[in-house]
């Protein structure tokens, strides 16, 4: 790429997206332990999962000296039936590791309102390296309120959101604003949209090389990619590609082939984050090594066990003899014992007790907690769990796919 090309200035505390291989924003798979694991194996930047503006507004920012994390918490929107108010614990809506993620974390916001977007972004902007607007997720939990891929049909609103963030967040916090989109039905439509977006003052645009109706099993379409990169470069905006990128070496080659500035890895990073290592540095590692490192991070930050188990069912091959055993485990202690991680068993027991989990695998918690990942993504789970499951829709009705090798009680991560 020519050094003569125009470049939008990168704000002083913002991330430069050029030359980067990055972790995609994914619901469930983008939680803190997964981001730390991706960084451990060489990811240049990491996106957190889409967090809806309304879920952030009203949160309280707290530093946790035990986990060395910053947590944004709030009381569940629905009371936990049967528990005194004093015993209802705050839900963690968003959690970061300010030391290990410094300068490398991008906060992705789900929004369809400029004012709410600014209010939510202001709460976290001082602690992240960029704010990214999700205009690409096709799932109903994102599009139902005009967010996600629905914004592709309302470009005036999308541009207004980006302009509001640029005007209110960039000067005060000195970080950049970016947007993640999908390609449209025709190259002409995509070009018209991209030209409008890059004129809003953003520093980067990520394009998922699939249309909104397409799903991950369908091959990415890269025919529009060079055109999109050229339009971005004319405005001085970085262009990051997403879709069927499997490892660092392939990412660097695709960047060269299509003239884009960066590449984003989603599905492969969910399965084995060592994909961020170049082949010359060791390349893809055996799953058993990656899983052990993941559990170390999960214990370090006292991550929700349900999310950790979900991630293990993605990283452990379905044909492995231990896969079924892991899918039935109900404590960190049992996981470490089963996998032979004797050096972590005592720590796992301490974390289990902290999380109100029976370390001996009884699997019952003292206080049932709210699914805060769903809350952050704008889901409505607390009330349905409080009154019972009779009105709960089947996963397929809620737009969640279940992999054939995964236990039916777990939902797959959704790239956003």
Residues classed as catalytic:
137
Q: What is the 3-state secondary structure (H, E, C) of the chain?
A: CCCCCCCCCCCCCCCCCCCEEEECCEECCCCHHHHHHHHHCCCCEEECCCEEHHHHCCCEEEEECCCCEEEEEECCCCCCCCCCHHHCCCEEEEEECCCCCCCCEEEEEECCCHHHHHHHHHHHHHHCCEEEEEECCCCHHHHCCCCHHHHHHCHHHHHHHHHHHHHHCHHHHCCEEEEEEECCCCHHHHHHHHHHHHCCCCCEEEEECCCCCCCCCCCCCCCCHHHHHHHHHHCCCEEEEECCCCCHHHHHHHHHHHCCCEEEECHHHHHCHHHHCCHHHCCCCCHHHHHHHHHHHHHHCCCCHHHHHHHHHHHCCCCCCCHHHHHHCCCHHHHHHHHCCHHHHHHHHHHHHHCCCCCCCCCCCCCCCCCHHHHHCCCCCHHHHHHCCCCCCCHHHHCCCCCCCCCCCCCCCEEC
- Counting Cα atoms < 13 Å in the Cβ hemisphere of 20 gives 23
């Amino acid at each position: 790429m020519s050094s003569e090309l125009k470049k939008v200035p990168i704000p002083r505390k913002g991330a430069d997206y050029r030359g980067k291989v990055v972790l995609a924003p994914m619901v469930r798979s983008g939680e803190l332990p997964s981001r730390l694991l991706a960084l451990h194996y060489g990811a240049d930047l990491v996106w957190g999962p889409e967090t809806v503006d309304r879920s952030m507004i009203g949160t309280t920012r707290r530093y946790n000296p035990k986990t060395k994390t910053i947590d944004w918490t709030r009381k569940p929107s629905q009371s936990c039936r049967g528990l005194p108010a004093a015993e209802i614990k705050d839900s963690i809506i968003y959690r970061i590791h300010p030391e290990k993620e410094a300068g490398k974390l991008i906060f992705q916001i789900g929004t369809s309102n400029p004012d709410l977007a600014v209010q939510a972004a202001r709460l976290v902007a001082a602690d992240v390296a960029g704010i990214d607007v999700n205009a690409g997720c096709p799932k109903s939990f994102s599009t139902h309120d005009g967010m996600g891929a629905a914004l592709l049909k309302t470009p005036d609103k999308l541009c207004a959101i980006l302009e509001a963030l640029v005007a209110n967040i960039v000067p005060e916090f000195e970080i950049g604003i970016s947007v993640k989109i999908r390609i449209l039905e025709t190259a002409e439509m995509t070009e018209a949209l991209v030209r409008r977006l890059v004129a809003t003052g953003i520093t980067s645009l990520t394009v998922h090389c699939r249309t909104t109706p397409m799903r991950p099993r369908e091959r990415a379409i890269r025919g529009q990619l060079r055109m999109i990169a050229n339009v971005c470069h004319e405005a001085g905006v970085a262009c990051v590609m997403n879709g069927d990128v499997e490892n660092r070496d392939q990412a660097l080659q695709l960047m060269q082939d299509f003239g884009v500035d960066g590449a984003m890895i989603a599905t492969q990073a969910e399965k084995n984050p060592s994909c961020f290592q170049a082949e010359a540095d060791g390349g893809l590692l055996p799953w058993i090594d990656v899983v052990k490192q993941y559990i170390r991070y999960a214990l370090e930050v006292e991550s929700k066990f349900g999310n950790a188990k979900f991630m293990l069912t993605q990283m452990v091959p379905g044909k492995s003899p231990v896969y079924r055993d892991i899918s039935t485990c109900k404590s960190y202690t049992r996981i470490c014992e089963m996998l032979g991680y004797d050096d972590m068993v005592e720590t796992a027991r301490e974390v289990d007790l902290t999380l109100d989990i029976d370390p001996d695998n009884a699997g019952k918690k003292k206080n049932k907690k709210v699914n805060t990942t769903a809350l952050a993504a704008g889901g409505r789970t607390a009330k349905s769990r409080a009154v019972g499951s009779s009105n709960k829709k089947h996963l397929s009705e809620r737009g969640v796919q279940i992999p054939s090798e995964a236990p039916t009680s777990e939902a797959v991560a959704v790239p956003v």
